[in-house]
């Protein structure tokens, strides 16, 4: 089994288990931020568009305010790992650039460590915007150019650089969301500033 964007080492290895512990800590803090800033009220429908094995989606699935948490990824192996860990998690095999959901059906559509691996992240953002309801929210989290991963530009063509993906700074991420017609409202540095995320509202078209 080769390396995936969501994976460091093979499952059940020491490095994989260590990485999963770090990722669990990251995702719990991220979920807390998104629940506080990204959704209002109860019965929230949350879509992780580009979920890998869906750790954060499983955390959302335990929250009383969330009526539906969906993990979406093109990688069937990643979703298989998600269902092994959390049999009750809703999973859908799909491309983030072609989301199979009704327009305006999601309260919060989000991902972390996804769009930096796409050649045209604008296409994915447009799809995320389409499935999000009016005044709903979209969140994108990416490797931070001004954080510990700032060295990535020096090794972008190596295996490690490709695994990290493209890095962004906060202004670049805000512009990316704004250019898609979203209204950025908040930002979040997380996991020791390795990542930066921007939260944006869907405005009326």
Domain range summary for the chain, segments of one domain joined by +: 29-202
At residue 92, the 3 state secondary structure works out as strand
Pairing, β 66-73 against β 90-93:
parallel
Instruction: Give me the pLDDT at residue 14, please.
Output: 61
CATH topology of domain 29-202: Rossmann fold (3.40.50)
Q: Please give the average per-residue pLDDT across 77-87, as a whole number.
A: 93
* Tens digit of each residue's pLDDT (9 = 90 or more) over 18-28: 556 666 777 88
What confidence tier does 185 reach under pLDDT thresholds 50, 70, 90?
very high
pLDDT of res. 1: 33
Could you give the percent of the chain with pLDDT greater than 70?
88
What are the start-end ranges of the H helices in 74-201? 76-85, 121-131, 159-164, 170-179
Quote the pLDDT of residue 203: 85
More confident residue, 107 or 6: 107
Mean pLDDT of 72-88: 94
Q: How many Å apart are CA 191 and CA 177, to the nearest integer?
A: 22
């Amino acid at each position: 089994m080769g390396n995936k964007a969501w994976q460091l080492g093979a499952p059940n290895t020491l490095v994989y288990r260590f990485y999963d512990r770090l990722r669990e800590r990251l995702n719990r803090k991220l979920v807390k931020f998104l629940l506080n800033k990204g959704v209002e009220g109860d019965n929230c429908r949350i879509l992780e568009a580009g979920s890998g094995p869906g750790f954060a989606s499983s955390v959302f699935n335990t929250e009383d305010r969330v009526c539906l948490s969906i993990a979406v990824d093109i990688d069937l192996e990643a979703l298989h790992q998600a269902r092994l860990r959390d049999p009750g998690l809703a999973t859908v095999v799909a491309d983030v650039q072609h989301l199979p959901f009704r327009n305006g059906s999601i309260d919060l559509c989000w991902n972390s460590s996804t769009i930096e691996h796409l050649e045209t992240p604008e296409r994915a953002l447009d799809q995320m915007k389409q499935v999000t309801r009016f005044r709903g929210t979209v969140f994108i989290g990416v490797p931070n150019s001004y954080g510990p991963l700032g060295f990535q530009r020096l090794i972008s063509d190596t295996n490690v650089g490709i695994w990290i993906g493209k890095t962004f700074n906060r202004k670049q991420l805000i512009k990316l969301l704004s250019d898609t017609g979203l209204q950025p409202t908040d930002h979040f540095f997380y996991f020791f500033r390795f990542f930066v995320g921007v939260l944006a509202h869907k405005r009326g078209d």
